[in-house]
Amino acid sequence: MTDHSTLELGLDTFGDVTHDADGNRIPYPEVIRNVVEQAVAADRLGVDFIGIGEHHRDDFAVSAPEIVLAAIAGQTERIKLGTAVTVLSSDDPVRVFERFATLDAVSAGRAEIILGRGSFTESFPLFGYPLAQYEELFEEKLDLLARLLEEGPVTWEGRLRAPLKDQEVYPKTAGGIRTWIGVGGSPESVVRAARYGMPLMLAIIGGDPARFKPYVDLYERALGQLEQPKLPVGVHSPGFVADSDEAARELLWPGWKLMHDRIGGERGWGPASRDQFEGEADAGSLYVGSPETVAQRIASTVRTLGVDRFDMKYSSGPLAHEHLLHGVELYGGVVVPRVRELLAG
């Protein structure tokens, strides 16, 4: 039997630009302050982790998640603070380390990094990186960041940036920074995480979560063959909690459709249907409903995949701050203890 006693239950948000009661867009500064308020509530209620996404487009307010996380750190005591995700391909590994080492200091050791290539590409032209080097940029920068995380003198050479020779980077941390690799479903990415000895975060945003079990098994086999220690595996999936199943679905549906239709229009997909939404809510990777419904579905996924963390992305499109905050309160106050009870039983 798998021991779930160390399971971590977290929340993620991309800082979606929300609407007020009259359907008007909330200004970016207010959205960011609301994200801080939601994270403070999560800390108070015992949620283990808050992840803030990085985006560079008009429907998301957060482009510098480490600054938002530092603001959260100043108002919280225990919750772990990380990204969902840091787009390493279009960033500089030295600056990534420096920013997170600083966040780790101000939060007394609570900083985490979740690295990814990102599902959006706006950051590449914005920071002057060619999309043609999408894969190579991530691989090379990950290699350098892995060396920096050792916190010793770094001698390193790659093809896409200047080399380093016996370079120290500051500030040093008190105990290192746990750094995950976010994976959307590529076996090569799973093996890469094992090769670098980093925990694996699976982004499961659609379909039956059980289809990701082969990736968990692959990661564990790769760790063994590479003589790496057992490392955590996490899941990131969307969801939303309200007082009842009906209320949760009716509140989430308009924003969910708006977001999917916008992204789908950019990527050549057809419009999202209500049947698609209901299917994901019933048996897919959309954890929407009453606290009991969401808890039961999270517990089922944790059992099926044998993961060590579950992070629910609780924001979706323009869903109002008052509903997001209430959802955070239900997740921390009811869902988290209920999941632990179900798994203990």
CA Rg, the chain, in Å?
19
The two tokens of residue 210 are 């059980």
DSSP SS3 for 125: helix
As given in the structure block, the two tokens for residue 341 are: 């009870």
| 345 Cβ contact partners less than 8 Å away, ≥ 6 residues apart | none
Per-position pLDDT tens, the chain of length 345:
578 999 999 999 999 999 998 899 999 999 999 999 999 999 999 999 999 999 999 999 999 999 999 999 999 999 999 999 999 999 999 999 999 999 999 999 999 999 998 779 999 999 999 999 999 999 999 999 999 999 999 999 999 999 999 999 999 999 999 999 999 989 999 999 999 999 999 999 999 999 999 999 999 999 999 999 999 999 999 999 999 999 999 999 999 999 999 998 888 889 999 999 999 999 999 999 999 999 999 999 999 999 999 999 999 999 999 999 999 999 999 999 999 999 998
What is the pTM assigned to this prediction? 0.97
Per the omega criterion (within 30 degrees of 0), is the bond before 85 cis? Answer: yes
The CA dihedral of 34, 38, 44, 46, to the nearest 10 degrees, is -160
Does residue 202 sit in helix, strand or coil? strand
CA dihedral 304, 310, 316, 320 (to 10 degrees): 130
Domain residue limits, the chain: 8-344
Q: Which amino acid is at 108?
A: A
The listed CATH number (3.40.50.1100, 1.10.1200.10, 3.20.20.30, 3.40.640.10) that belongs to domain 8-344: 3.20.20.30
Q: Integer distance in angstroms from the first to the last C-alpha of the chain? A: 12
List the structure tokens of 243. 């007082």
* Contact (CB, 8 A) for 322 and 282: no
Q: How far is CA 121 from the centre of its chain?
A: 17
Both tokens of residue 124?
């590449």
**Residues paired with residue 50 on neighbouring β-strands, in sequence order:** 11, 81
Asked if residue 261 lies in contact with residue 272, where contact means CB atoms within 8 angstroms, the answer is yes
Compute the distance between CA of residue 183 and CA of residue 83 in angstroms, rounded to an integer.
Answer: 14
CA distances to 64, 67, 110, 137, 198 from 169, rounded to whole Å, are 21, 20, 20, 21, 20
